[in-house]
Amino acid sequence: MPHIRIMDTTLRDGMHAMAHQFTPEQMAQVGAALDEAGVDVIEVTHGDGLAGSSFQYGFAAATDEEYLKAVAATLKRAKLAALILPGIGTCEDMRTAVKAGVKVFRIATHVTEADVSEEHMGLAKEMGTEVVGFLMMSHTVGKEKIAEQAKLMESYGADVVYVVDSAGAMIPSEVKEKVSYLCSVLKVPVGFHAHNNLGLAVGNTLAAVDAGATVVDGTLRGLGAGAGNTCTEVLVAALKKAGYKVDMDLYKIMDAATTLEPMMRRPQVIDNSSIILGYAGVYSSFLLHTYRAAEKFRLDPRDILLELGRRKIVGGQEDYILDVAYEMAQKKNIMVG
């Protein structure tokens, strides 16, 4: 059975569920526990990546540099990673991140916009870091389009290219089809990142591995946007039981999850709105923004999410959620104070 590499994104995707309010001290504590468990790569930033802390995406409790330095100081074996979305984070942000200890850049674009990653990938390679291409909202297009965009990232220097189920909208058969096709056309390893809005994150990740993916993501206790991500400790247990090689200690990754628990604002659950996220194919990080809009305009958040899905909005359009909710309230003659 092949060796499976796990990248943990608790301290980045998990920021969404924490309203980006992890403290550097908390991140250092969780990072040290992940490192002790044998995690290979630990991703740290605002939930929307480098420079994501803003009025539009939500202000974090500290700066990216403070978070990165805090975690870097605790690591003995794991590589420190940072996510960057071109158009939000800049090349200067990347240079600052490398000085803070980053060894891996995960460069994310919408699945049809890989071309905007060329400059950032080139800089990452120039600085000697590992480069991961992250094709978000991969459920919205067919396997041929994903392959076309993945090949662009490969040509820019990506060491790994991910199929990313940002909305938690995929089912196992779709994951297998898209991941296996990508494996057949790329020379670099294929990765997979799941969300749990339909309760399929672990199952979809196993389907991706069965289809040839050798790099996958998880978060402790599944902490993340929407209904959360693939639960790292569950994934480790499942992969080991299936016979795959995973360089992580099961007991220690479970202990790391226990370390996280007191910091969590609430248990990561699949509630009704999360189900609609996956059903409608809406970006998982829109959930908390939608709750706020629903409260402001006295609407059912499920109705807003279905409308967002119908309009096919993508990551980066968080401000549009309020516009949509306002329009819906006007049509229902709801008075907003």
180 annotated as a binding-site residue: no
67 annotated as a binding-site residue: no
Axis crossing angle, helix 301-311 with helix 272-280, rounded to the nearest 10: 10
317 CB contacts (<8 Å, ≥6 apart)?
none
Q: Report how far residue 15's alpha carbon sits from residue 13's, in angstroms, rounded to the nearest whole number.
A: 5
3 annotated as a binding-site residue: no
117 annotated as a binding-site residue: no
63 to each of 59, 67, 115, 302, how far by Cα in Å?
9, 6, 28, 33
Three-state secondary structure call for residue 238: helix
Environment class of 237 (CB within 10 Å of its CB; exposed 0-12, middle 13-18, buried 19+): middle
Q: Tell whether the torsion through CA atoms of 167, 170, 175 and 179 is positive or negative.
A: negative
298 annotated as a binding-site residue: no
69 to each of 52, 80, 96, how far by Cα in Å?
17, 10, 11
Q: Report how far residue 119's alpha carbon sits from residue 94's, in angstroms, rounded to the nearest whole number.
A: 11
106 annotated as a binding-site residue: no
E strand or H helix that includes residue 136: strand 130-136
Has 16 been annotated as catalytic? yes
Q: Which residues are catalytic?
A: 16
Can you say which residues are annotated as belonging to the binding site for substrate? 12-13, 166, 193, 283
Can you say which residues are annotated as belonging to the binding site for Mn(2+)? 13, 193, 195
Can you say which residues are annotated as belonging to the binding site? 12-13, 166, 193, 195, 283
